[in-house]
Chains A and B, each alone.
Chain A
Amino acid sequence: MLQLSILAPAVLNGLMTGAVYALIALGLTLIYGVLHIINFAHGALLMLSLFGVYFLNRLAGIDPYVALVIVVPAMFALGYALQRGIIARTSHGKDENVLLVTLGIALIIENLALFFWRSDTRTIDVPYAFDVVDVGFTFLSVPRLVAFGAAFVVAGLLWLLMSRTDLGRAIRAVAKERQGARVVGIDVEHIFAMSFGIGTACVAAAACLLLPTFYVTPQVGNAFVLIAFTVVVLGGMGSFTGALVGGLLIGLVESLGGLFLGETLGQIGIFLVFIAVLLFRPTGLFGDRT
């Protein structure tokens, strides 16, 4: 049978890839899971954040982790403006319009990126990119471990935001009872835009944590957006625990699938798990049963 020395690194690597999926899905579960904004621009916004981190590093020599304090607020502002200025104005509250508008935004952002930056694969050089820790049976990449830890921190922060602050309560209130929210004086359009902004800030954080060991091209978002939607539904719409566990699970399945079935066929495992979970738990792993 398979040796532990092959299996264990595959498991750990899968979990670390999964943490990145989780980071991206955390933002999406707020936007899509809680408020049902079908955000096809999520991947394009990730790509834009990655370019932001890339240029900050290349042009200004800013470390990707330091770039967090610039890229995260900037992407929050962009997300807020996109929802308030474009998506809300053009969708008139209809899901199918939201879907088309966000898809349109994604196409525009991606093609502008292609026009200005071409489809070259770009990477940055940081001195710690290949740092590893020896865990006995294998070596683990330090930047990827950082991303792994950050996924838990971001999930925890989002959970605190949603359960302990008025903003979080207002987001949950708006999700289920808009008229009720209006009569207590909640500015519903503002809350939608705040949620979109926070969700976008999450992909910005993911971008900062991803770039030390990853690359950026104008199409890089596509690889993640489908997986992010899968993770959100698999984990349970709007559940941060679900996004975290779902992301890790998908990363694990992808890694083990690759190990047993080969790189290309390995992806099939993701969708097998997805279908199996939805068959037995239609609301997802951590979704509300109501």
Chain B
Amino acid sequence: MLEVTGLRAGYGEVTVLHGIDMAMDKGEIVAVLGSNGVGKTTLNNAICGLARPFAGTVRFAGVTITGWPAHRVVGAGLVQVPEGRRVFPNLSVRENLELGSYRRGRANRTRSLDRVFAIFPRLAERASQKAGTLSGGEQQMLALGRGLMAEPVLLILDEPSLGLSPLLVEEMFALIRTIAAEGIAILLVEQNVVQSLEIADRAYILEQGCFVLSGSAGTLLQDDRLKRAYLGI
């Protein structure tokens, strides 16, 4: 469903990604793992149309979407929940969610809203509150809920666990599994290696702009190199 080949991307003169190849199927949870500054968000933005790749192609649902503007990519059903939440602080929780279906899923807005409120009862309680007054965890839920409003085919989650308490991280990962069970493919871009591998089907390890390791989550968890580098064992 998602096919990335030879993707090179970066900012200005600096190349961050040096040829990325990856593929994803319907209904999969795939994790892209790596520490800070290895190019995870760049990859994400290049796929979503927020940054124009230097070279390579991105195909989604059989269509080449390389270089499409972000709003067209969203229209095709590839939706990102960005790093740092990026909720609209000056809009109410309800308005934030409504705008989630700005480009896509507008016809089912009421139904989607009920569904998101059912998944996140906290958001229902705070529906008329300004998003800027929510706690970090609530904002993350709102960002995720806003992403779901667009009825995504593929949802990219950029560091959903960032800045959350361990308990909330646990809750967030459980939610991601619930969402995936509804048939939405999930690309999880994370630093949190262990917990990501626990819910993912497959994973890619990103280092210095290249994938250095990939495979099923179970195999990777047993990999000696990975254990040394990320798990400290």
* A interface residues with partner B (beta carbon < 8 Å): 166, 169-170, 172-173, 175-177, 179-187, 288, 290
Contacts and interface: CB of A to CB of B under 8 A. Distances in A.
B77 to A, nearest CB: 10
A183 B88 contact: no
Contacts of A183: 48, 50, 70, 74, 79-82, 86, 147
Interface stretch (B98-106, B161-169, B178-186): B98-106
B75 A185 contact: yes
A105 to B, nearest CB: 26
Sorting the interface of chain B by its residue count into under 10, 10 to 19, 20 to 34 or 35 or more gives 20 to 34
Given A169-B95, A185-B73, 15 more contacts: A170-B102, A172-B88, A173-B88, A173-B99, A176-B89, A177-B89, A180-B85, A181-B99, A183-B86, A184-B99, A185-B70, A185-B102, A185-B103, A186-B71, A186-B103
B205 to A, nearest CB: 25
Interface of A is mostly: helix
A173 B80 contact: no
Interface in B100-137: 100, 102-104, 106, 132
Nearest to A176: B90
A192 B82 CA distance: 22
Nearest to A190: B71
B146 interface: yes
Contacts, number: 73
Contacts of B79: 183, 185
Nearest to B72: A185
Nearest to A175: B90
Contacts of B75: 185
Contact of B86 (A166, A177, A187, A290): A177
10 contacts: A176-B88, A177-B89, A179-B86, A180-B82, A184-B103, A185-B70, A185-B74, A185-B75, A185-B103, A187-B71
Contacts of A186: 71, 99, 102-103
B24 interface: no
A187 B104 CA distance: 13
A173 B73 CA distance: 19
Contacts of B48: 183
Nearest to B49: A182
Contacts of A184: 74, 99-100, 102-103, 146, 150
A180 B86 contact: yes
Contact of B70 (A169, A177, A182, A290): A182
Nearest to B84: A179
A218 B227 CA distance: 74
